[in-house]
Amino acid sequence: MAVFAYKAIDLDTSAVSGTIVADTPRQARDLLRERGLTIQDVTIRQARRAGGSWSGRSLGGRRHGPKLVSMIRELSTLLAVGIPLLEAIDHIARQHKGHFRECLLLLRDRVSAGMSLADAMAEQPDVFNELAVSITQVGESSGTLDTALERLAEFKERASQLKGRIATALIYPCIVLLTGIAVSLFLMSFVVPNLLSALIAAGKPLPWTTQVVKSISDFILHQWWVVLLSVVSGSLSVAILLRTDGGRRLWHRLQLHLPILGDMVRKQAILRIAVVMGTLLRSGIVFIKSVQIARQGTKNGVIRDALIRFENAVGAGQDIAEALAATDVFPPLVVQIFAVGQQSGRLEEMLDRLATDYDRQLTTASQRLTAVLEPILILFLALIVGFIAFATVMPILEAGNVL
């Protein structure tokens, strides 16, 4: 099945263009003729491979995140008011263009051929992840598809709000640090050599601070290629290391042991796990399946391995709290919440409370981190720039005193 772009003339002799789903170019032309169109051109836009991946540009879920959330919520609303599924997908597809429209056309084509909506979504894993497929499947099985899609839309909106909390907190400090490095390089490359050239030509003795700054400035001016080569080679080495399983595992383990940031990384991962599992359990997904889906969405390899051990232990019949505590990754509070939730039968409610509490803690921690890093970086950069300025001005003042 493929998507074809066409140009044609309708009965009113007006030029029209659009896309159509068909197996072959000939079938696409036949379908267009049935609409009364005079065909000018038909070209293939995207084709499906047997493995379910796109042969052209990828329809990544991240790329279409806002559109996808809007589509799911609109589909839930249309189904809730009694509009048939195919008609609802047609209505939504008309509101979009480009690759996302082609995705919706393929989705409609599969559903019209008798496939369930969940199975049609599963054929496009780059757009609809396993969580979306599982919730949709439960909604179709229970006859509450509109409610299931509403929960899915709420989850995706909440996940987008939680995403990148740590990265957002570090944006401003990184900007300050990069600006300070750029200013220091400018001073060492242009200002320092020009100011000291006259003193050096006069044979005046330089203070030790000025000699240190001049040595660094000369190294940057004459051996800049060494600095550039070191930065490039170091970056490539780190990138290659992180592509290996051992390198990624080492980096993920290091993340969890960083001061302040390690606790934030752990809480953000647990927060996402709680949100995913709470949404899935409320939608009727069994516990083991919800753990599997939550594990797939966990980026940190150490926590992901801990979830694998937890899943295997629970599958073997071990108590949930004991299996979670045996991983030595999750805090006692998380273990206690799983234990209480299991005993009371309100695990999804307890996970929602845990997510809300951790969300509040992460917000406070990110604000405190930014508030602490800003003055520290500014003070650090002020000391560097002040040292350069002092080392540059000091011999000039001494020469003035001698005169």
pLDDT, one tens digit per residue, over 321-380 is: 899 999 899 999 999 999 898 888 888 889 989 988 988 888 888 888 888 888 888 888
Mean pLDDT of 117-141: 85
User: What per-residue confidence (pLDDT) applies to 240?
Assistant: 92
pLDDT category at 204 given cuts 50, 70, 90 is low
pLDDT category at 50 given cuts 50, 70, 90 is very low
pTM of the model: 0.69
Other beta carbons within 10 angstroms of residue 202's beta carbon come to: 8
User: What per-residue confidence (pLDDT) applies to 59?
Assistant: 31
User: What per-residue confidence (pLDDT) applies to 115?
Assistant: 83
Residues 67-125 pLDDT 10s: 888 889 899 999 888 888 888 888 888 888 877 888 888 888 888 878 888 888 888 88
User: What per-residue confidence (pLDDT) applies to 307?
Assistant: 92
Higher pLDDT, 45 or 41: 41
Of the listed ranges 37-51, 321-335, 382-396, the least confidently predicted one is 37-51
d(C-alpha 236, C-alpha 220), whole Å: 22
Higher pLDDT, 168 or 301: 301
Mean pLDDT of 186-190: 83
316 backbone dihedrals φ, ψ, rounded to 5°: -85, 0
d(C-alpha 133, C-alpha 135), whole Å: 6
Q: In what order do the strands lie in the sheet with 2-9?
A: 15-22, 2-9, 38-47
What does each C-alpha distance from 242 to 249, 251, 357 come to in angstroms?
8, 7, 32
d(C-alpha 77, C-alpha 149), whole Å: 9
d(C-alpha 220, C-alpha 216), whole Å: 6
Dihedral in degrees, nearest 10, Cα atoms 293, 297, 298, 299: 150
| 209: Cα separation from own chain's centroid | 46
Residues 214-249 pLDDT 10s: 888 888 888 888 888 988 999 999 899 888 888 888
d(C-alpha 135, C-alpha 148), whole Å: 6
User: What per-residue confidence (pLDDT) applies to 283?
Assistant: 81
Structure tokens at 135: 């919730």
User: What per-residue confidence (pLDDT) applies to 306?
Assistant: 92
pLDDT category at 162 given cuts 50, 70, 90 is low
pLDDT exceeds 60 at position 46: no
User: What per-residue confidence (pLDDT) applies to 310?
Assistant: 92
Beta bridge partners, 132, equal: none
pLDDT exceeds 90 at position 141: no
Higher pLDDT, 20 or 265: 265
Enter the CATH code of domain 65-162: 1.20.81.30
Mean pLDDT of 141-145: 82
Q: What is the mean pLDDT of the chain?
A: 81
User: What per-residue confidence (pLDDT) applies to 375?
Assistant: 86
Of the listed ranges 50-54, 224-228, 390-394, the least confidently predicted one is 50-54
Report CA torsion sign: 130, 134, 140, 143: negative
CB 154 within 8 A of CB 270: no
- Beta-strand pair 15-22/38-47: unpaired
Other beta carbons within 10 angstroms of residue 228's beta carbon come to: 10
Provide, rounded to the nearest whole percent, the portion of the chain with pLDDT above 90. Answer: 9
User: What per-residue confidence (pLDDT) applies to 308?
Assistant: 92
Helix, coil or strand: residue 63: coil
Residues 263-311 pLDDT 10s: 888 988 898 898 888 888 888 888 998 898 888 878 888 999 999 999 9
User: What per-residue confidence (pLDDT) applies to 268?
Assistant: 87
For domain 164-403, the CATH architecture is: Up-down Bundle (1.20)
